[in-house]
Amino acid sequence: MTVLHIIEFPDPRLRLRAEPVRVFDAALRQFVADMFETMYAANGVGLAATQVAVSQRVLVADMSDARNQPLALINPQILEKTGSQVYQEGCLSFPGIFADVTRAMTVKVKAHDVDGEEVVMEFEGPLAVCIQHEMDHLEGKVFVDYLSPLKRTMLLKRMEKQRKQAASA
Ligand code: GNR
Ligand code: NI
C-alpha cells in the first residue's frame, strides 16, 4: 500500500469534475486501499480521489473514533436530502483553516461499492457532513466556496501566512 500525495489549494486540479468509474478491477481495489492508507496517515475523516489528483468518482470516509469503520463509495449520487446542520469543517487540501458550513442533516446516497455492487445508504449528522464534503470535491467544489468573500479571503490569507512561516522555520 502507498500513502499518496494530497494536493493543496490553489492547485487547479481541485477544480476538476471527476469522471465516473467504469471498470471495477484489481487496480481500483488497490487505489481504494491506497486512499484509506492516505486518509489514515493524514488523520482525515474522509478523502476524495480529486485530492490525490485522480479525477475519478471515488471517495473514502471513516468517522469512527476507533478508525475501524472504513467506507468507500464509487460514483455516489444523492437521492434525497433532509434538514440542515452547521458543522465546523476543515479540509486536508486547506491545512490549518476551519469554518462553519451549513449542509443537509441527512443524505440518502446511491453508489457502488468496490466490487461494483449497487448500494443505497443513509447518513446523518457528522458522517452526512463528511459525505457531502467529499462529494463536493468530486464536482470540483471545496468548503470555502460556501463562505462569504470576506471570510474566504481572510481564511485563505491565514493559510498562506502559516505556509510561509512553516517554510521559513
Ligand atoms: O479530515 C477532514 N475533516 C473534516 C472535518 C469536518 C468536515 C469535513 C471534514 S473532511 C476532512 C478531510 C478532507 O479534506 N476530505 O475531503
Ligand atoms: Ni476536503
CATH number at residue 76: 3.90.45.10
Please report which helix (H) or strand (E) contains residue 154, including its range: helix 149-168
What is the tens place of the pLDDT at every residue in 84-139?
999 999 999 999 999 999 999 999 999 999 999 999 999 999 999 999 999 999 99
**153 band by pLDDT with thresholds 50, 70 and 90:** very high
Q: Which pLDDT value is given to residue 42?
A: 98
Tell whether 169 is covered by a domain: no
Question: Model-level pTM?
Answer: 0.98
- The predicted structure's pLDDT at residue 1: 87
Domain count, the chain: 1
User: Which residue, judged by its Cα, is nearest atom 7 of ligand 1?
Assistant: 89
Does 42 reside within a domain? yes
**Active-site residue 134, yes or no?**
yes
pLDDT at 99: 98
Pocket, ligand 1, Cβ cutoff 6 A: 44-48, 51, 87, 89-93, 129-130, 133-134, 137
* pLDDT value of position 38: 98
> Within a domain: residue 3?
no
Task: Give the pLDDT of residue 31.
Answer: 98
Question: Atom 1 of ligand 1 has which residue's CA nearest to it?
Answer: 44
The ligand placed nearest to the CA atom of residue 60 is 1
pLDDT at 64 over 90: yes
Domain assignment of residue 83, yes or no: yes
C-alpha cell at 28: 481500483
Statement: residue 144 has pLDDT above 90: yes
Name the residue among 22, 168, 143, 31 with its Cα closest to residue 90.
143
Question: Does residue 75 lie within any of the structural domains?
Answer: yes
Give 157's strand partners.
Answer: none
Name 113's Cβ contacts closer than 8 Å, sequence gap at least 6: 72, 73, 74, 119
pLDDT tens digits, residue range 132-141?
999 999 999 9
Is 145 within the bounds of a domain?
yes
Q: Are strands 118-124 and 106-112 parallel, antiparallel or unpaired?
A: antiparallel
- For residue 118, report the distance from its CA to the centre of ligand 2, in Å: 25
For residues 99 and 90, give the distance between their C-alpha atoms in angstroms, rounded to a whole number: 7
In 3D space, the residue among 96, 99, 116 whose CA is nearest the CA of residue 164 turns out to be 96
- The tens digit of pLDDT for each residue in 20-48 reads 999 999 999 999 999 999 999 999 999 99
- Which pLDDT score is estimated for 169? 81
User: Strands across the sheet with 46-48, in order?
Assistant: 46-48, 58-61, 71-82, 106-112, 118-124
d(CA 105, CA 86): 9
- Is the residue at 168 inside a domain? no
Domain span at residue 48? 12-162
Kindly provide the residue ranges of all beta strands, DSSP E only, lying in 14-157, ordered along the sequence.
46-48, 58-61, 71-82, 85-89, 99-103, 106-112, 118-124
- Residue 4 inside a domain? The answer is no
